Structures are given as structure tokens and as C-alpha cells.
Structure 1
Amino acid sequence: MTDEGYPTANVQGKEIPYDPETLRRIKEHPCFSEKACHAFGRAHLAVAPKCNIQCNYCVRDFDCVNESRPGVTSEVLSPGDGVARVREVMEKFPYVKVIGIAGPGEPLANPETLETMRLVHEEFPHLILCLSTNGLMLPEYIDELVKYDVYNLTVTLNAIDPEIGAKIYSHVTYKGKKYEGVEGAKILLEQQLKGIQMAVERKMIVKINTVYIPGVNDEHIPEIAKKVGAMGVYNFNIIPLIPQYKFEGVTPPTPAMKRAMHDRCAPYVKQMKHCQRCRADAVGKLGQDMQSCLSHGCGEKKEE
């Protein structure tokens, strides 16, 4: 634990204190610090429509303004449009400290993601860059992320047992070939764990998202927390299932069930309890999405 109250990084069994820049990336990121979510905001750039896996709970909508959940966006942006969006966001909402890419598909399955990160990093080097990924291609692209100072990373990891993963993923497309069942889940898991370890070794601040699916992975979630905690990830976010697609008949966990799961996982890794399940084009503070105000003249007055 540092003097500021933040834990040290556990890298291959060694406790390494966070440097000042890493602490800043924690303190100013609303998803990595509960205090930050009241003061600072984030902007998601929806530049990544394609996905390389199919989760049984995922429906991606590319022209949706009526829902607030992962996988939806009002429009898909080009890298150039993404940088223009950042300019507008910084003019209207200067409390935004984080620029992230979280879809609406898998960021690392879209070359536009890295191009956008490059452009944003060049023009706004002071902003925190963040990526959310399923982890399948993370080992391949992790050093490019480091090159553009993308040090805040979220990996969605729903199972560390391929038998359970096979119930969650319809298929995984890897190196041009589609894999189903346990075979696909095993490939995905191997890549996820490899990528997470590589990220920790590169001093990235890693958050794990796990979708809580009653009757599928619920009793398995504490094992996921134990595994990633031992790997040195920073925090662990339990996301209640949104019943849709193949899991539309599954009753989601109640708030009490979620709290109980946090309690079971807390001994292994720091828990994130303030997630708002953001859209792929979310802008502003958590729970106060302002993306619909962009280019419509209803932004907040710029702070002095």
C-alpha cells in the first residue's frame, strides 16, 4: 500500500510501488477510482464496429439513442472523426480526463482503434488513454498500446474454465478461423491470461470485467477474482447480466446478489462497485451521459 492509500503493483510476486504518473492515471480515471467518478469524466470513441467473438449476452446496435448499455452507439466514427470528437469534448467538458475505446465491437479487431489512439495521443498527450477488450488479440497488440501510452486497460473475463466459457461464447474467430464450444473458449482464455500477464508486466493498470450470469458462471466468479488478483490486476468489476440474445430468458442477479458476490471476491482483489455499464459513445461523468449534447449546443460552460 502506498502513502496515498493505493495498493502497490504485484508483478511476478514482487510488490512494486506505483510511480506518480501511474497514480495520476488511477486518481483521474472514474472507472479506476470511485472518488474520481464524482470529479472527472470520460469520453468513449465508437470507432470499432467489428467483433471477433460472439457472446451469448451481446447485442450490438450501431444507431441507438434510447438505450444505455455496452455495445450501443448513435454512430460509428472514423479515426479523424474521433479526434474531432475529442476536440469538441475538451471544449465543452474540460473535466473529461479519459479518452477510451470500448466498441461497439472489439477494439483490437478494428485497425481504426490504434490509428485513433495514435492521433489522440499526438494531439492530446496529457489525456489518459483507455481501452476495453475481450483480450483475444491483446498479446499481439499490447506493445502498440504502450507506444501510444494506453496504460489503462479493461479485459472482460467471464470464465477461467473453458467448459464454462463454452456456455458463454457462441464462437471465437482467431487468425481467420472460427472456433466453437470448448475449443473456442480455450483459445480465448489462453490469449486473455497471456495478455493480462503481459499488461501487468508493462505496468498497465488492469481492470477485469466479469459478467455475472446466474446459473452459468455465478459460482465460478470468486475463482476468477482469485486468479486475476494473484496476477496483479488493479480492480475487479462484476457486471450483472442484461438479459438479451441467447440469455434473454435468464433472470439477472439482484443488487443483493451482486453485493454478496463482491463480498466473496473482495479477499482476492480490489472491487469496483460504481460501474454504470456505459455506452460505446458515452461522454461525461459516470451516470451523467452528455454525448447527446455534442454538436447540439447544450454543453456545459467551460471552466475557468
Structure 2
Amino acid sequence: MPRSFTELTDKHPCFGQHSAQTGRIHLPVCPGCNISCRFCERSINQTENRPGVAACVLKPEETVPLIRKALEIAPEITVAGIAGPGDTLATDNAIKTFRIVKREFPSLIKCMSTNGLLLSERAEELIELGIDSLTVTVNAVDPEIEAQLNDYVIYHGKKIEGVEGAKILIKNQLEGIRKIASAGITVKVNTVLVPRINGKHIADIAYAVAEAGAEKYNIIPLIPQAKLKNEPAPSCLDIDEARRAAGKYIELFLHCSRCRADAIGIPGKTDVSRQVYSLFPREMNFKENFSHG
């Protein structure tokens, strides 16, 4: 059975009032992605502090010594999360990794993030695996708006561009959220706020994902980069207006740290990732780029 929302508020640093005392380890095991977000710029480096970035990409089996060492250095870690640097369902790596975590570290909460393109069809695998919480990035529920944020999807080996690709993505996201939520798994939704494009659409997104069963909603301010590098970052007023619009329909998540895909420690407080990774210089499976498909 997945952890209850009450247990998550006590032990998951992204959910509850005790967030300053509990930590997480993000396991960077996902090299590929299956959608092309216009604001996304994935990278392998040790310096940038943002989603989509990791110092390396690991094989699932390489995570065991890493987790053991992380727990020695930071025993406050209660969550094993997978948030990239690619999409977690675009390959089998995340599911393989969580099977290992379930066997080797059964006390850790298993938390996962995905763009949701394959969520509906892989939902039963996640339910069987015992995922405790899932985050889905939903940037629009109107295909015309989504197509301004995402150039294309790679769906069952086929590149589908523009509005047609957006329709598939949105349908699969909402269907997947329903399946996951109906199994008792806590679902959080992230939305990247791009004021000119989806700023007036936030209430619609919040309503749709809440109706599908999501319990938490997190608005992430755009980091201007990639094809949207000339878009201005949201102002404090933009963020406040978006939160007020969403808050009418769903409980808000307000302390996102926009973490790297290999972060280790207490979000916004400590990060021991470099300390941990420095102990395994030859065991890591380094990758230099990412793939779509």
C-alpha cells in the first residue's frame, strides 16, 4: 500500500510541516526524454542548480552504494526520488531502480516525477511497484496553449508536432493522474508559469488536475532558457496571481526549491551531493548528452 498523505506530510520534505528536518536523494537514472519542451535545457554539469541537470547519469544498479553512503552522511534522508534528468517513463530505468530501492531500502519513500506522456499506459506498473507519491508536470489543458510550450512528442516511436502532439500529451496526463490517484497514491502537479502563454490559464489547469485526483499544485516560475530564453521570468505579482487562481481549486505547494536531478539532502537547507558523489569517481556511468525518443 502507498504511504498515506498524512505519512507523507510527516516524512516527505516536499509535503509537510516537518520539511526542514527530512531529506531526499534524487537518483539521476533517466537519460532520455520523449517530449520537447520549449523552455527545457537539459545538461550534465556540476554547477547549475535547476531541474534537468545532473553531474552524471547512473545505471539502476549503481544507485545502491550511492544510497548507502548518502544515508551514512545524511541519515535524515527519508525519500528516494527520481526526477530525471530525462523523463522517468521514457525508459525503464526508473522502474528498475525503484524495484531495487524497494528491495534494498524498504523504509524509504518512493517518489517520482514525469511529464505524463506515458503515465496512463504505465500506471499499473507504478501502482504494482508501490510508488508513494507522483509529480506530473502539466503546463496546459488546452492543446493550443500546450503547443506554444512544447514543440512535439515522441509517442510510440512517432514524432507528433504541435497541437496534435499536445492533445495526446494532455489526454494521457489526465487519464494517468486519475489512475494513479484512484489507487491511493498522492499526486502533485507542477506547472511551469510562462505569463504570456499560460498565465491566464492556471485556473483551468488547477481545476482539471484537481478533478482528476491531484492533491497538491506547484507553480514553478519559468527559467528563461532554450527557445524561451527571451521570455521574461514571472514577477512576484505574476506568481501571486497564478497562486490565487489555482488556490480556488486545489491545495498549493509553496516551497519548491527547483532541485537538480541529483540533489541529496534537505531541500533548500543542505546538499551533500558533491560529498557523496566524490566517493564514487570511477563507478559512475557518465553520459554527455540526452536523446528524445
Do structure 1's residue 53 and structure 2's residue 24 form an aligned pair?
A: no
> Which residue of the partner structure matches residue 152 of structure 1?
133
Structure-to-structure mapping, 1:78-227, within 5 angstroms? 78-227=59-208
Task: Mark the CA change 1:58 to 1:215 in structure 2 (over 3 Å): closer, same or farther.
Answer: same
Quote the offset at 1:152 in angstroms. 0.3
Quote the offset at 1:232 in angstroms. 2.4
Do structure 1's residue 236 and structure 2's residue 217 form an aligned pair?
A: yes
Do structure 1's residue 24 and structure 2's residue 24 form an aligned pair?
A: no
Contact 1:52 / 1:109 at 8 angstroms: preserved in 2? yes
Q: Which structure's relative contact order is higher, taking Cα pairs within 8 Å and 6+ residues apart?
A: 2
Give the match's secondary structure for 1:193: helix
Contact 1:145 / 1:151 at 8 angstroms: preserved in 2? no
> Which residue of the partner structure matches residue 19 of structure 2?
37
**Which runs of at least 4 in structure 1 moved beyond 6 Å after TM superposition?**
none
**Residue from 229, 232, 257 that aligns with 2:238:** 257
Q: Deviations over 1:234-271 (max 9, x none)?
A: 10000000000110000011123212221221111000
Q: Deviations over 1:52-83 (max 9, x none)?
A: 00100001102x11110000000111111112
Query: How many Å separate the matches in 1 of 2:10 and 2:131?
Result: 16
Unaligned runs of at least 5 residues, structure 1? 1-17, 298-304
- Specify the code of the residue in structure 2 equivalent to 1:234: E
Contact 1:73 / 1:104 at 8 angstroms: preserved in 2? yes
Unaligned runs of at least 5 residues, structure 2? 280-293
Task: Mark the CA change 1:229 to 1:295 in structure 2 (over 3 Å): closer, same or farther.
Answer: closer
Quote the offset at 1:25 in angstroms. 2.5
> Which residue of the partner structure matches residue 300 of structure 1?
none
Query: How many Å separate the matches in 2 of 1:163 and 1:274?
Result: 30
- How well do the aligned residues superpose, as a CA RMSD in angstroms? 1.5
What's the % identity of the aligned pairs?
Answer: 43
Contact 1:45 / 1:281 at 8 angstroms: preserved in 2? yes
- Specify the code of the residue in structure 2 equivalent to 1:60: R
Give the match's secondary structure for 1:195: helix
Query: How many Å separate the matches in 1 of 2:90 and 2:229?
Result: 26
> Which residue of the partner structure matches residue 286 of structure 2?
none
Query: How many Å separate the matches in 2 of 1:122 and 1:75?
Result: 24
TM-score (norm 1): 0.88
> Which residue of the partner structure matches residue 272 of structure 1?
253
> Which residue of the partner structure matches residue 10 of structure 1?
none
Query: How many Å separate the matches in 2 of 1:238 and 1:252?
Result: 13
Task: Mark the CA change 1:19 to 1:48 in structure 2 (over 3 Å): closer, same or farther.
Answer: closer
- Number of residue-to-residue matches in the alignment: 278
Contact 2:190 / 2:220 at 8 angstroms: preserved in 1? yes
- Specify the code of the residue in structure 2 equivalent to 1:24: E
Give the match's secondary structure for 2:29: coil
Quote the offset at 1:139 in angstroms. 1.6
Do structure 1's residue 294 and structure 2's residue 276 form an aligned pair?
A: yes
Contact 1:29 / 1:40 at 8 angstroms: preserved in 2? yes
Task: Mark the CA change 1:295 to 1:216 in structure 2 (over 3 Å): closer, same or farther.
Answer: closer
